[in-house]
């Protein structure tokens, strides 16, 4: 009888550990992450100066209530071209994208894919965008070209993001913290 009780207890413990070890996924929404990122830099005047003032840019969110707050198919094509092997943003579940209106290379984008196997497609897509920004930065101030050369394109789970700014490390840390806070089993 004692053996049976120990066996049942072990089975229960194994079941509990197995259910806890399941794959976790973040419920963070790209627009909420971008809001945290913008909120992280707005209060600090000197950092905002380096960002070319966030007010001097355009913010697009897939969950925007107004149509002009979302990227149209034409804008997707203008900003990003064609996503390799897909119809534009079909693999992107949601996104938030900010670009400077000053004709400089400052941009930020967060894209959540529906299937984690599509992250590499989006990474390649964003690397092409960064190359375009780098090519466009020639002829501007040297620091604009440097921003493009120091761009960050990375993934975290189903999120693919890129930052072309002077403060990439601050933005990446904020993004990762926001994704971590929203992990669920």
Q: What percent of the chain has pLDDT over 90?
A: 22
CB atoms within 10 A of CB 18: 9
User: Residue 34 in contact with residue 59, Cβ under 8 Å?
Assistant: yes
Structure tokens given for 101: 């209106």
Residue 5's pLDDT band (cuts 50, 70, 90): very low
Q: Which of 19-28, 119-128, 133-142 has the lowest mean pLDDT?
A: 19-28
Predicted TM-score (pTM) of this structure:
0.76
Neighbouring C-alpha atoms within 13 Å toward the C-beta of 168: 18
């Amino acid at each position: 009888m004692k053996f049976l009780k120990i066996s049942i207890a072990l089975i229960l413990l194994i079941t509990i550990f197995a259910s806890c070890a399941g794959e976790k996924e973040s419920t963070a929404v790209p627009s909420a992450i971008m809001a945290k990122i913008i909120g992280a830099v707005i209060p600090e005047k000197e950092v905002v100066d380096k960002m070319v003032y966030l007010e001097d840019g355009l913010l697009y969110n897939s969950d925007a209530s107004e149509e002009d707050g979302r990227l149209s198919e034409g804008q997707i094509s203008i900003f990003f071209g064609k996503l390799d092997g897909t119809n534009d943003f079909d693999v992107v579940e949601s996104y938030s994208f900010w670009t400077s209106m000053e004709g400089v290379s400052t941009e930020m984008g967060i894209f959540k894919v529906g299937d984690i196997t599509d992250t590499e497609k989006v990474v390649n897509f964003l690397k092409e965008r960064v190359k375009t920004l780098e090519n466009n930065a020639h002829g501007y101030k040297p620091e604009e070209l440097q921003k493009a050369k120091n761009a960050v394109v990375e993934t975290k789970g189903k999120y693919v993001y890129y930052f072309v700014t002077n403060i990439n490390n601050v933005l990446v840390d904020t993004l990762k913290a926001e994704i971590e806070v929203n992990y669920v089993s």
